[in-house]
A and B are shown apart, each in its own frame.
Chain A
Amino acid sequence: EAEVAQSPRYKITEKSQAVAFWCDPISGHATLYWYRQILGQGPELLVQFQDESVVDDSQLPKDRFSAERLKGVDSTLKIQPAELGDSAMYLCASSDLAGAYNEQFFGPGTRLTVL
């Protein structure tokens, strides 16, 4: 069964360092989402791509966060510089516009700890 892949699964970094997360969506899924899940809260959308174009990045802290999906397939989310408050789980999801309900399938996430 096809799954969304994410790496790394865990990342520990010091504040002011740069970090990057990678996501490979289910093959053929045109829509890709990055969510941030702070401990004790539900996921919140950071950025949404349709193919290689950004659809919604209204909640992305653009002074330090960037996201790209250059070929409309896999995607990278970068934080530079990382801050203590960035410690969270970063979830990637993908969906197929042609599928029922545009159901989103989630990856296992990257747990980031900023020291």
Chain B
Amino acid sequence: AQTVTQSQPEMSVQEAETVTLSCTYDTSESDYYLFWYKQPPSRQMILVIRQEAYKQQNATENRFSVNFQKAAKSFSLKISDSQLGDAAMYFCAYRSARDGGSNYKLTFGKGTLLTVNP
């Protein structure tokens, strides 16, 4: 079974600064997807960024980028130019790339609560 570990329960960053959230995972599969989800207080979870394991290039979405180290099974999220609206719980998640059935389920880490200080 796959596991996802987020070792930082809480992080804080000054507005306009950069912060990196850590995530490690364990799997025996060679092809999979990794995701970072954002869950603002009292609002629904939204996808921030995704990474396909077969791609060597790290994914980037505006101010959000990842550092994907497949051999180390590490998948960190970097938020540049942090904004007050970035304050939320961030979850790292894993999904098998195999098609069908229960392969589509997401396995989540415990989350990192990010505080952005003005």
Size of the chain B interface, CB-CB below 8 angstroms? 22
Do the beta carbons of A108 and B44 come within 8 Å of each other? yes
What separation, in Å, do the CA atoms of A91 and B108 have in the docked complex? Answer: 13
Do the beta carbons of A42 and B44 come within 8 Å of each other? no
Residues in B with CB closer than 8 Å to A35 are: 106
What separation, in Å, do the CA atoms of A82 and B14 have in the docked complex? Answer: 43
Do the beta carbons of A45 and B111 come within 8 Å of each other? no
Size of the chain A interface, CB-CB below 8 angstroms? 25
Do the beta carbons of A42 and B102 come within 8 Å of each other? no
Given A103-B47, A108-B43, are A45 and B110 neighbors across the interface (CB < 8 Å)?
no
Which A74-115 residues sit within 8 Å CB-CB of chain B?
91, 95, 101-104, 106-109
Q: Known pairs A4-B44, A35-B106, A48-B105. 9 more at Cβ < 8 A? A: A40-B111, A41-B110, A41-B111, A42-B4, A43-B108, A45-B105, A56-B101, A102-B95, A106-B37
